[in-house]
Structure 1
Amino acid sequence: MPAISADAGRIIGRCHANCGASARPGRRSRHTRSRQARRHSDLEYFPSARTRVLDRNTAIGGTACGRANQRSLKTHLAHSRRFIITLGLLTAIAALTVDLSLPAIPAMVDALNTSLSHAQQIVGIFMLGMSVGQIPSGLASDRFGRLPTIYAGMGLFVTAACVAAIANDIEVLLAARFVQGIGAASAIVISRAVVRDIATGKDAARLMSLMTMIFTAAPVIAPSIGALLVAHWNWRAPFIVIAASGFALLFAVRSNLEETHTPDASQHPLRQLSFSFREFFSHRQSVFGLLLLIVAPAGHMSVIAVSAALTVGIYGYSITQYGMIFACAGLSILAGSITNRWLIVRYDVVQLVTLGVALIFTSSAQLVIIAWLDSAPFWWVWSCVCLYMFAIAILMPNTTVLALDPLPRIAGVASSIIGTTQNVLGASGAILGALIYNGTIRNTVIIMATTGTVTACVFLLRPLIVSELKLHQREELARN
């Protein structure tokens, strides 16, 4: 048992005294409401940086008093800025890895003696690695805890990033990006699982929106930074920065995150994984959320993969201008996250999902027209892309909350199921977008136009999938 400080000991002592008193049968409480409030505040003890109730890697659980302390700790974490910022940075590491490397693609073609289509696969291969790594990461986090899994995953990410930075062959670079994606998968899975560990309903949607706002910084600034790095040094500079960012994030995890899940390794891994899959797909609400979540990413990843070729090759903008143009898409995600955070306190999650789907369909309908014409001014094409990104920032956090809400005990595997399917289709969209790119506007936007339309169709089929969408309330979770 980790050492407990004197202050924490007194708090836990009071908690045990209160629990013991409340457990005595046949006695009516003599406390007034105000005194009960004071007793409740005793339970909501927020330890300082030097004083912790338990070791940072040990989740509290077991007894009623332990569960009371755990709820208090989770409430504290849900409002801790450093904790939330670190979760947002974990979510952003994948976007940073993709967006920072995009400006290096044209220079990489000559340096590694490869084709543009082959070089553009660094996006899809990375996403494919993330798809492969998420199920193992989710299962490991449920069995061994969130923190050990994130340490192992980010360590793998940093190692592969260093290999990518020194690669002299496109095949070695692509292999390193695949392994890098496997490591980054743990960051995506665990950040979502941790949110489900500490919050639900609108609180979870609020946290998801805050994380999305932090995540937005990557597509806003990363392409511009990548373009400057390539212009002043060479194509390797962005990959070196990616490796350094991984090191920095490991230190942030060590300093700011706490364990939020009580590990359960009682079952055989395959049996536990099989049970988790059956549990996930037995909830129609989770299935409906999954269907909404997996289609839209294929569209925006297809445009991201060929965005440099679209902007520089078709419309003739410079690499520096490309960074600024791409930042507009990132700002659209930021605007959508801010809007979602404002709306979440005024409307329910289902209404915001409806809004997100409607905006995605508005964007994709215009892109269908552009694909049919095979000609359009750049402002029209890119405004449709930005609207799609804006809608993604509203749709994704709320739909993720819907999908994870019924599954608190298997949040790690549930998050990995969502992430894996998202990234399989996202990687497929990116690779397919790079393969079908032929210098025309039609082939550049056709995948985004299709996925937006499919997302709208899935939403319209909701009555056939799930009869009612319901979110657990905090009091109900406490009773459970």
Structure 2
Amino acid sequence: MSRRVAFLLVLLSALGSLGIHAFVPALPAVSAGLGAPVGLVQLGITLYLAGLIVGQLVGGWTSDLVGRRPILVAGAGLYVAGAALCAAAPDITAFLLGRVVQGCGGACALVVSRAVVVDLSRAEETAAELARLSLVVLLAPTLAPLLGGLLVSAGGWRLIFAVLALAGSGALAATWLALPETGAARRAGETSAFAAFPRLLADGRFMRFTAINAIGTIGMFGFLAGASFLLVDLYGLDPAGTGIAFLCVAASVMAGTLLCGRIETRRPGQALRWGTATFALGGLIMLGLAGNAGHPAALIGPMMVSGFGAGLTGPSALAGALRVPEPAFRGTASSLFGALQMLMGAAATGVMAAFYRPTVYSVALPLAGAGLVIALLAWTAPRRPAA
């Protein structure tokens, strides 16, 4: 893979994450500017996530049918159209429609970019290349709120979406001019466009990698949904202290992601095994401290251990899942992998909202349980060569 193509894929992968996190600081300004209730403006996050799920599920699959390049162009185009509609929205209805369109476009860009990485890389390089994309997706939530806040202060909330539309336009132009078609042709005997879904769902190897990622997401999203309340209500941290705590966890995930590629290049399969074991260890430590967790370090310290494990696990699980036996199904594999991850994350936040209690146990139990399950799946997997 050339550096030019690698940079383009990084830009495309970042669009979706930028679209959600840069918007967060603008929520009050959008409400005031459009004269809409706060609840309706917050729906802009929910609908964007819905667009991400639909876009991920459809984008990769259609890239198997018509090629990677057309779907990346279409995804970037949808992202630009959605952002432009938000920037010019005269009312909340147009704004929410723009958020759905933007989310679909960002998801297509992310999910097909992953498939392009697999198309262009050797099996032993795939995890390292995907780790680079994952690192950008992790960095965006850290930097995007700051960018969004600066843009709101400089020119109002509409400026955020104008800048996002400009970034999407750059990605669209670069994709059109510089990205070659990388998708494998469909096999001559393939008659049903929907055959990829049942085949992948019946593929034990693909489902094992996908389940490891999706179940790990339960523990991570459970922490994200509950930790803010614990840090404020149980430990009395102010917003700045809470932000620092989450930054420490994000840094641990990034550190694991950076290390993942190096391990997988030298010892394929080991990053997944040690990552899931580390994830489980952090959950068990938190569970052991939960009964006497008088300091926020009892929550954040173990979560940093699990976060490091998640950074090791994510790219290696994705690389394993996308190395399916049929190259023409890689886009669909990327779709299913991403959509199931988001669905499990949404389910985890919903369960946390229904059963949350102001104790560390409410976070530690799902984290430790998810960690033990994914470690079991990783360490009992048969050793099979990558496709």
Query: What TM bracket, shorter-length normalisation?
Result: 0.7 to 0.9
Partner of 1:415: 334
Cα drift, residue 398 of structure 1:
0.7
Q: For the Cα contact (< 8 Å) 2:226–2:362, is it kept in 1?
A: no
Tell me which of 291, 307, 312 is aligned to 2:211.
Answer: 291
The 1:152–1:354 alpha-carbon spacing in structure 2 relative to 1, beyond 3 Å, is: same
Q: Quote the Cα distance in structure 2 between the aligned partners of 1:136 and 1:288.
A: 22
Q: Quote the Cα distance in structure 1 between the aligned partners of 2:290 and 2:26.
A: 28
TM-score (norm 1): 0.68
Counterpart residue identity of residue 340, structure 1: C
3-state SS, counterpart of residue 193 of structure 2: helix
Counterpart residue identity of residue 411, structure 1: R
Aligned pair 1:181/2:95, yes or no? no
Counterpart residue identity of residue 272, structure 1: A
Cα drift, residue 453 of structure 1:
2.0
Partner of 2:383: 469
Q: Quote the Cα distance in structure 2 between the aligned partners of 1:133 and 1:217.
A: 22
Cα drift, residue 166 of structure 1:
4.2
**Cα distance per residue 1:98-131 (max 9 Å; x no partner):** 2222333455566655347x65554443222221
Q: For the Cα contact (< 8 Å) 1:119–1:170, is it kept in 2?
A: yes
**Cα distance per residue 1:348-396 (max 9 Å; x no partner):** 22x21121112222333355567767x7544554444444433222101
Counterpart residue identity of residue 271, structure 2: L
Counterpart residue identity of residue 300, structure 1: M
Aligned pair 1:209/2:127, yes or no? no
Q: For the Cα contact (< 8 Å) 1:161–1:240, is it kept in 2?
A: yes
Cα drift, residue 146 of structure 1:
0.4
Q: Quote the Cα distance in structure 2 between the aligned partners of 1:384 and 1:119.
A: 35
Q: Quote the Cα distance in structure 2 between the aligned partners of 1:356 and 1:301.
A: 17
Q: For the Cα contact (< 8 Å) 2:131–2:315, is it kept in 1?
A: yes
**Cα distance per residue 1:222-245 (max 9 Å; x no partner):** 222223334445444433333222
Q: For the Cα contact (< 8 Å) 2:272–2:378, is it kept in 1?
A: no
3-state SS, counterpart of residue 345 of structure 1: helix
Q: For the Cα contact (< 8 Å) 1:200–1:401, is it kept in 2?
A: no
Aligned pair 1:161/2:83, yes or no? yes
Counterpart residue identity of residue 401, structure 1: A
Q: For the Cα contact (< 8 Å) 1:143–1:265, is it kept in 2?
A: no
Tell me which of 328, 338, 362 is aligned to 2:281.
Answer: 362
Q: Quote the Cα distance in structure 1 between the aligned partners of 2:371 and 2:115.
A: 24
Q: For the Cα contact (< 8 Å) 1:123–1:305, is it kept in 2?
A: no
Partner of 2:312: 394
Q: For the Cα contact (< 8 Å) 1:332–1:387, is it kept in 2?
A: yes
Aligned pair 1:272/2:193, yes or no? yes
Partner of 1:38: none
**Map 1:425-464 → 2, pairs under 5 A:** 425-430=344-349, 442=359, 446=362, 450-451=366-367, 453-461=369-377
**Map 1:7-18 → 2, pairs under 5 A:** none
**Cα distance per residue 1:271-310 (max 9 Å; x no partner):** 221x212321332111111111112234434555788877
Tell me which of 247, 251, 261 is aligned to 1:341.
Answer: 261
**Percent of aligned pairs sharing the same letter:** 26
Q: For the Cα contact (< 8 Å) 1:162–1:240, is it kept in 2?
A: yes
Q: Quote the Cα distance in structure 2 between the aligned partners of 1:289 and 1:252.
A: 32
Tell me which of 262, 265, 272 is aligned to 1:353.
Answer: 272
Counterpart residue identity of residue 281, structure 2: T
Cα drift, residue 311 of structure 1:
7.2
5+ long unaligned stretches in structure 2: none
Q: Quote the Cα distance in structure 1 between the aligned partners of 2:243 and 2:156.
A: 16
The 1:210–1:430 alpha-carbon spacing in structure 2 relative to 1, beyond 3 Å, is: same
Aligned pair 1:406/2:324, yes or no? yes
**Map 1:167-246 → 2, pairs under 5 A:** 167=89, 172-246=94-168
Aligned pair 1:125/2:39, yes or no? no
The 1:157–1:384 alpha-carbon spacing in structure 2 relative to 1, beyond 3 Å, is: farther
Q: Quote the Cα distance in structure 1 between the aligned partners of 2:385 and 2:239.
A: 47
Cα drift, residue 86 of structure 1:
1.7
Paired positions, count: 383
Counterpart residue identity of residue 397, structure 1: P
3-state SS, counterpart of residue 296 of structure 1: helix
Larger of the two Rg values belongs to structure: 1
Q: For the Cα contact (< 8 Å) 1:220–1:328, is it kept in 2?
A: no
Q: For the Cα contact (< 8 Å) 1:128–1:423, is it kept in 2?
A: no
Q: For the Cα contact (< 8 Å) 1:121–1:430, is it kept in 2?
A: no
Aligned pair 1:332/2:252, yes or no? yes
**Cα distance per residue 1:208-262 (max 9 Å; x no partner):** 1222233333133222222333444544443333322222221232344221124
Cα drift, residue 437 of structure 1:
9.8
3-state SS, counterpart of residue 261 of structure 1: coil
Query: Is the helix fraction higher in 1 or 2?
Result: 2
**Cα distance per residue 1:427-457 (max 9 Å; x no partner):** 3445666x5598x7549x9468515522421
